[in-house]
Amino acid sequence: MSISEEERGSEFESAEFPRPAALRSARVLRRLSRSLSGRRVSISAVVVAVALSALTGCLYFGVHRGDQRTGDDAAAAVRQAVTDGTTALLTYKSDTVDADLQAANTFLTGEFGVYYQSFTRDVVAPAAKEQHITTTATVVGAATMTLEDDRAVALVMVNQATSTAINPQPNSTSTSIRVEVERQDGRWLISKFDPV
């Protein structure tokens, strides 16, 4: 900006605000400051500010956080979690079955987790080793059915290719699974797993 423009600016100011107007605004300001400095006015303003802050706090923590917990990001996180979990649960190689199923356990919680652990240890792992079963699950679709605060239900569509010592050529099956998940420490863990 050039100096001449600034000068013109100040010229404008003096032209736009003649003395009586300046006095009038000064009077308004003084009246305003007099009324703002009143004890009662001050206390009322503080009370209103505190009340509005409290209201906003309630809205933020009581309503907004809840909305966020069930928003689009949460739905996407649920779909990702059930995709990863389902793939882990239904995928193992005969020679690494113990480690594979152990890793799958980290996606599980609750009664289903306990059931899966004992079922895979007692039934799945011995059979996998004995019959050389290798199975690979591919999730071809994951969708959120319901999403509440810390619980969600998802529909997972899986294609599973399984080979055994007798049938080395992978045999393919398609299934749809209803997967329930619970949020624990920010992670969605599988608590129920039912084919539909």
Partner 1 sequence: MATPTADTATMNDIEPDNAPPEADAGSAPDGHRPSEGTWKRRVAAVVTIASLVVSIVMLCFAGALWWQHRSAEANDARTAAILDAARSGVESMISITDTSAADDVQRVLDQSTGTFRSDFEARSQSFVTVVQEAKVTTNGSVTAVGVESESPGSAVVLVAAQSSVSNSAGAENETRSWRLRVTMTEDAGTYKMANVEFVA
Q: Which residues bind partner 1 (CB under 8 A)?
A: 20, 23-24, 26-27, 30, 33-34, 36-39, 41-42, 45-46, 48-49, 52-53, 55-56, 59-60, 63-64, 67, 70-72, 75, 79, 140-145, 153-155, 157, 159, 174, 176, 178, 196
Cα 110 versus chain centre, distance:
21
- Residue (75 or 103) nearer to partner 1, CB: 75
| H-helix or E-strand spanning residue 126 | helix 125-131
- Residue (38 or 126) nearer to partner 1, CB: 38
Distances (CA, A) of 105 to 108, 141, 168, 180: 5, 22, 27, 15
- Residue (123 or 143) nearer to partner 1, CB: 143
Task: Please report the DSSP string for 9-36 in residue order.
Answer: HHHHHHHHS-HHHHHHHHHHHHHHHHHH
Q: What is the DSSP code (8-state) at residue 133?
A: -
Tell me the closest approach of the beta carbon of residue 69 to partner 1, in angstroms: 10
Report d(CA 40, CA 46) in Å as an integer. 10
Tell me the closest approach of the beta carbon of residue 82 to partner 1, in angstroms: 10
- Residue (36 or 165) nearer to partner 1, CB: 36
Tell me the closest approach of the beta carbon of residue 3 to partner 1, in angstroms: 33
Tell me the closest approach of the beta carbon of residue 169 to partner 1, in angstroms: 19
Tokens of 130: 């004995």
